[in-house]
Amino acid sequence: MATSTTPGANPSVARLGGLYRYPMKSCAPLAADAAVVEARGLAHDRRWMVVDPSGAFITGRELPRLTLVRADPGAEGALSLQAPGMAPLQVEAPRGDARLAVTVWKSDVLARPCDAAADAWLSAFLGRPVRLVHMADDVHRPMTSSHARPGDEVSFADAYPLLLVTRAAVELLNTKLERPVSPLRFRPNLVVDGAPAHAEDGWSRLRIGEVEFDVGPACVRCVFTTVDPERGERDADGQPLRALIGYRRGPEGVTFGRNLVPRSTGTLRLGDPVEVLA
């Protein structure tokens, strides 16, 4: 493997140490030993989303209880939903020609609406009227970032197909906190072991295992980082966002981790080498 002169980018020690999918936007993370990378992100990652009756997206920022919902993808595109105090629900992938206009930030998407049983289940758990929508293969959401190439797409993720953090950056943050947090506070798809804290700030192109990525801009952080995904509640002390403001605040805001755009497809596996190409 070729060596790199990029700071903090020793491919002999940097490895993929965590791999996570969030089948429904803002739901509980699902750890994986391997995952397929598609053009719009990891397979089964953020292909379902909760919206309000007007079609506007809803996340754990405003409804922290969403992080308690476990959404497991099943055969033929189905989704299994579980949440505390709720009977499990099997949701079939929507069929037919029905579409629902939904918004994700500034993106307008014609998604596939799910059946009334899924809407009722989620509304009961979240305590307000909501709907569930699906991004099937025929539902498209073009990337609008300056880092996008013609034809680039994204799932229901905020703006980019994948998100990466380094474990060392989380460990550095934890030295500033009374109660440590896990990398999952930052909703990553990929956690890199063996790279120095925030080495990713200097990366622009990566190869992880057999897949290559462009490294997009740093991820600007918000109040969602204060939501403990194991409790489905915000931490009253405002951490870890309050600590991050002290040393990760820049012109664009508080940043932590980097967004990725796949430039090839393939399978990622835990332990894959992380090679910085530029």
CATH number at residue 118: 2.40.33.20
Per residue in 112-128, is it b (16+ CB within 10 Å) or e — as a string? bbbeeebbebbbebbee
pLDDT in tens, 186-241: 999 999 999 999 999 999 999 999 999 999 999 999 999 999 999 999 999 999 99
Which pLDDT belongs to residue 262?
Answer: 98
Structural domain includes residue 111? yes
Which pLDDT belongs to residue 154?
Answer: 97
Structural domain includes residue 8? no
Mean pLDDT across the stretch 167-175? 98
Residue 175 has pLDDT above 90, yes or no: yes
Going by the DSSP 8-state scheme, the letter that residue 30 receives in this structure is E
pLDDT band at 5 (very low <50, low <70, confident <90, very high): very low
Which pLDDT belongs to residue 7?
Answer: 44
pTM over 0.85: yes
Structural domain includes residue 84? yes
Structural domain includes residue 246? yes
Looking at the chain, the whole-number percentage of residues with pLDDT higher than 90 is 92
Structural domain includes residue 5? no
Which pLDDT belongs to residue 1?
Answer: 34
Q: Tell me how far apart the alpha carbons of residues 240 and 263 are, in angstroms, rounded to a whole number.
A: 32
Tokens for 170? 């989380």
Tokens for 66? 């969403």
CA 181 to chain centroid: 17
pLDDT band at 6 (very low <50, low <70, confident <90, very high): very low
**3 compared with 214, residue with greater pLDDT:** 214
Map residue 121 onto helix, strand or coil. Answer: helix
> Taking all residues of the chain, what is their mean pLDDT, rounded to a whole number?
94
What's the total number of domains in the chain? Answer: 1
Mean pLDDT across the stretch 175-192? 98
Map residue 45 onto helix, strand or coil. Answer: coil
Which pLDDT belongs to residue 147?
Answer: 84
Map residue 248 onto helix, strand or coil. Answer: coil
Question: Residue 108's domain spans which residues?
Answer: 15-276
**Nearest CA among 221, 218, 195 for reference residue 274:** 195
Structural domain includes residue 118? yes
Q: Tell me how far apart the alpha carbons of residues 260 and 183 are, in angstroms, rounded to a whole number.
A: 17
Residues whose CB is less than 8 angstroms from the CB of residue 146 and which lie 6 or more positions away in sequence, other chains included: none
Q: Are the CB atoms for 99 and 110 separated by under 8 Å?
A: yes
